[in-house]
Amino acid sequence: MWLVPFLLVCTLPVQGELKLTLDQSVFPAGDSGAVLELSYEIPHTSLTFLREDSGFVARYQVGIQVSDKRRNVVAGDFWQKVVRLREYGPTMARDSVETGTVSLALPKSALDARVELNDQANERSALALFRIGLPTGGLTVRLFKSGKPVAMRKYGIGDTLVAVARVGSRETRGESLDSCRFVLKHDRRVVTGATVPTTMKDEGGRMKPEARFEYPIGDSTGVARLGGGEYVLEVTGLGAGRPQSASVTFRVEVPFFLDDTAYLRRVEQLIYVASAAESKHLRSVPRGEREQAWHEFWKKKDQSPTTERNENEDQYFERIDYAEAHFGHGERGYLSDRGHVYVLYGPPDQIDARPFEIDTPADEIWYYYQVNKRFEFVDRFGAGEYVLQNREALGE
């Protein structure tokens, strides 16, 4: 089997004070050209929103500059973007983001790219520098959503995955392509697949075969057919010549209460705030009633019921995420003793830490002055698992 990468995709390292996530893709265009497709995601909290008319507006600029091996600029462009929101809440919501995609035609001499994003209301900016890998031909596959390239390769519950497979250049034997086999995988497990006949499409005045694969993320009732997470779509071109293959990755993000695995994990994570009866009820409610039951549970714990978001819920799961990230090496994340204390009380006001010595295990003492609590942890076995010594301080 002839394996030809259709697409060069990566998440780019970004520097600067503006929080930004970038993905770049390079794919063939015509017989010899190529296109750089740049997708980006900016948290609303990283942009400056100003009051304008009856809403709030943020403005930013995206610029791309491409140079050759002699550092001569051979291509470039910039785009002025505007974000308009009616309410103030989404400007501060941690899960509200601005996404977009811009494209730039590349000459054969393209080698390095410079991408800069600037907030027009202040001096904050973000910069990414990367090497461009031009495609060599073969089978190409592109992802679309609502007729446009999908930004950041992300799909939601109301979206349909659309993948279009085409031949990349005249140097390949793609003209003999008569069908493509699509296989969708999650964690190496096959989710679905189909063999799709090709149809002839006009590409720059030249007819070329392409195959189109579609798969709705949710069903007709709004329930997720694909759970949240990373997926791989593998494509094999079939015809008179030797088979050509390609693959592309993408991510599905659906409300957790529509994803059985994610929902049950969230319920498990309520261990420190939910009673056994409450957890049992949340696990047992039908899928269509989960969202209401979840909101009712957290409504009882909402200290600011007049606000749009439940700050207690946000804070609780931010602490869960922190515990998973910082207490998962040698420990059990949020289920560890340090994770337990962190989820309940948050960051300590002071930590006294003593490293391991020949005759003394490592230990930590966490102080919470506002609630007058002190927690002592000891790494008894030197494996990174800190055990709480004064469990009575939890007061449970």
258 vs 341, residue with greater confidence? 341
What is the residue extent of each domain of the chain? Answer: 1-135, 137-254, 255-301, 313-396
Q: Is the pLDDT higher at 167 or at 299?
A: 299
pLDDT score at 32 = 62
Name the class of domain 137-254: mainly beta
Task: Calculate helix-pair angle for 290-299, 276-284, nearest 10 degrees.
Answer: 160
| Residues, the chain | 396
- Domain 1-135 and domain 137-254, same fold? Reply is yes
At residue 380, φ and ψ (nearest 5 deg) are: -60, -40
Q: Which residues pair with 192 in a beta bridge?
A: 184
Q: How much helix, strand and coil, in percent to the nearest 5, is found in the chain?
A: 20, 45, 35
- Give 123's pLDDT tier (boundaries 50, 70, 90): confident
Side chain identity, residue 358: I
- Determine the distance from the C-alpha atom of residue 263 to the mean position of all C-alpha atoms in its chain, rounded to a whole number: 18
Distances (CA, A) of 94 to 16, 150, 229, 365: 19, 22, 20, 31
The reported pLDDT for the residue numbered 6 is: 33
Separation CA 164–CA 237 (nearest Å): 12
Strands 229-239 and 177-186: antiparallel
Judge if pTM exceeds 0.75: no
Backbone angles phi, psi at 381, to 5 degrees: -110, 5
Architecture per CATH, 1-135 = Sandwich (2.60)
Amino acid 224: pLDDT: 83
- Please state the rounded mean pLDDT for residues 377-389: 89
Average pLDDT, the chain: 87
